[in-house]
Amino acid sequence: MAKGAPSFVCQNCGATYNRWQGKCEACGEWNTLVEETASGAAAVPPNLRPRRKGRTFTLESLAGDSHDAPRTPSGMTELDRVTGGGFVRGSVLLLGGDPGIGKSTLLIQAASLMARAKNRAVYISGEEAIAQVRLRAERLGLADAPVQLAAETSVEDIIATLSQGVKPALVVIDSIQTMWTDTVDSAPGTVTQVRASAQALIRFAKTSGATLILVGHVTKDGQIAGPRVVEHMVDAVMSFEGEGSQQFRILRAVKNRFGPTDEIGVFEMTGLGLREVHNPSELFLSERDLGTPGTAVFAGIEGTRPVLVELQALVAPTSLGTPRRAVVGWDQQRLSMVLAVLEAHCGVKLSSHDVYLNVAGGLRIQEPAADLAAAAALVSSLTNAPLPADAVYFGEISLSGAVRPVAQMPARLKEAAKLGFKRAILPDMSRGDGTADTALTLNAVSSLTHLVADIAAKGVGKAGNSPRLRRQDG
Ligand code: TYD
Ligand code: MG
């Protein structure tokens, strides 16, 4: 490419082209190419750049003497659960999520708690004025927390300011799309700017030992907008999810260099900010319709924590040529597989029925262990036979129709017993795996055919046998 020639950069994935085109071939997105002039170091051909002699540095051993506690707990257990036990010094986190989901609220709460614990916490907003941030803090009852606030967008100014005085323990940048650096001339929000700004801020975090949290916007389909490249530069990517209409918010780690990626943090958005939910099962089961056909309780595991959640299915005759299959909170492919197994091995004909499956409470399940609960809910809806209200279901279904064991069965049973359930329908595996000493009645099923026959034959639940669930109102 000629010197100073314009280049077209995909705002979704960062791929560069020297001509405009409608579709980015790298990521398949349409209309994402934007002209950006290459500038700074990249525009100067390598052979014209001044040669610099390398500086020598001392190499360190792995067993260095760093006495500082490696992690600083944020003071929010649900947040710490997702990060892996607190913020690692010098690490960089990217927090993504839909607009209005509560990213700024979560971070001002975390920054306030850090500041109250006598750490220097800085919150830099590129989107809101200081007065707006203050108003929110007041509403959250955090106005007295010694957080240092600024409404700034220039990366150079921010780094110069942060380098003065005590080293900050936590720096929040809300959001990375609003930041800009002098070193490149593209407009704020373009891939080049976002990448250069993130690079400069990350360098500051690594040298100062501050934990840096970057807020990133999310596109319609849930990707962190623009800087896919930033995802590779940071140590952890977290996403904050939830249904707009519901109060539950789930924080999930998508990538984490210093901790697990399968843990979730559960919050509830209240009038006074985000409240941590330490017992999500009670929350997800709080609005159950007991004894309705088509619902089954799945005993799942999210990271290390058992979570009970209701699966709701609706199977209804279709009026269209191609029946609909819609699923919320679970994998569409997985649903297709369960439907295929039901058709092929259990004689359940669904080709003239619409199928809807929903995970209650806005949770998104990723475990295959939900297969059995989904199948039970589907068959229950189809045959109009309610499942017993005091039963939980878990097990993976194989293509042959066999029900396979899943991980952490004792933990699932323990949680179910704690919440007042009386029996579990689970894979056949009675070889001393710790499931023996449970208070629940265990109904082991080795194949899906047996379960379907059971539901269809005597599916009507026994009345008055429902579990003692603590209902939460409001
Ligand atoms: P916000 O943190 O600004 O979202 P984001 O930074 O992800 O865009 O949250 C905004 C939403 O949260 C807004 O719709 C109002 C709601 N909210 C509450 O319900 N209670 C509260 O105490 C606060 C601060 C916000
Ligand atoms: Mg915000």
Provide the pLDDT for residue 463: 33
The radius of gyration of the chain's CA atoms, rounded to the nearest angstrom, is 26
The pLDDT of 128-142, averaged and rounded, is: 92
- pLDDT at position 448 over 50: yes
- Give, in order, the Cα–Cα distances in Å from 107 to each of 125, 201, 237, 261, 374: 11, 17, 14, 20, 36
**Per-residue pLDDT averaged across 172-186, rounded?**
90
Task: Please determine, for residue 139, whether its predicted confidence score (pLDDT) is greater than 70.
Answer: yes
Mean pLDDT, rounded, for 61-87: 83
Read off the pLDDT of residues 291-301 as tens digits, 9 standing for 90 and up: 789 999 999 99
Pocket test for ligand 1, best of 101, 105, 248 (most atoms within 8 A of CB): 105
Report how far apart, in Å, the C-alpha atoms of 347 and of each of 180, 339, 344, 354 are. 61, 11, 6, 17
H or E element, residue 158: helix 155-162
Residue located nearest, by CA, to atom 18 of ligand 1: 271
Given a cut of 80, is residue 1 above it in pLDDT?
A: no
Which protein residue has the closest C-alpha to ligand 1 atom 8?
A: 100
Q: Is the pLDDT of residue 333 over 50?
A: yes
160-191 in b/e form (b: 16+ CB < 10 A) is ebbeeeeebbbbbbbbbbbbbbebbebebbbb
Comparing CA positions, the residue from 160, 199, 173, 151 lying closest to residue 40 is 199
Calpha distance 15→24 (Å, rounded): 8
pLDDT exceeds 60 at position 405: yes
pLDDT higher than threshold 60 for residue 271: yes
Mean pLDDT of 407-431: 86
Alpha helix locations (H) across 77-141?
A: 77-83, 103-116, 130-139
What mean pLDDT is predicted for residues 116-141?
Answer: 92
Residue 320 buriedness (CB in 10 A; 0-12 / 13-18 / 19+): exposed
User: Is the model more confident about 391 or about 98?
Assistant: 391
Q: Tokens in use for 208?
A: 């100062």
Q: For residue 464, what pLDDT is reported? A: 33
Reported as a pLDDT band with limits 50, 70 and 90, residue 5 is low
Our answer on whether the CB atom of 271 is closer than 6 Å to any ligand 1 atom is: yes
Task: Assess contact for 393 and 310: CB atoms under 8 A.
Answer: no
Cα 240 to Cα 87: distance, rounded to the nearest angstrom: 17
Of 26-40, 115-129, 166-180, 446-460, minimum mean pLDDT range:
26-40
- Count Cα neighbours of 220 within 13 Å in the Cβ-side half-sphere: 1
Ligand nearest to the CA of 267: 1
Q: Per-residue pLDDT averaged across 104-120, rounded? A: 94
- What's the CA gap between 95 and 123, in Å, rounded? 14
Is the pLDDT reported for residue 162 higher than 90? yes
Q: Which positions ≥6 away from 106 have C-beta within 8 Å?
A: 79, 95, 240, 249, 251, 267, 274
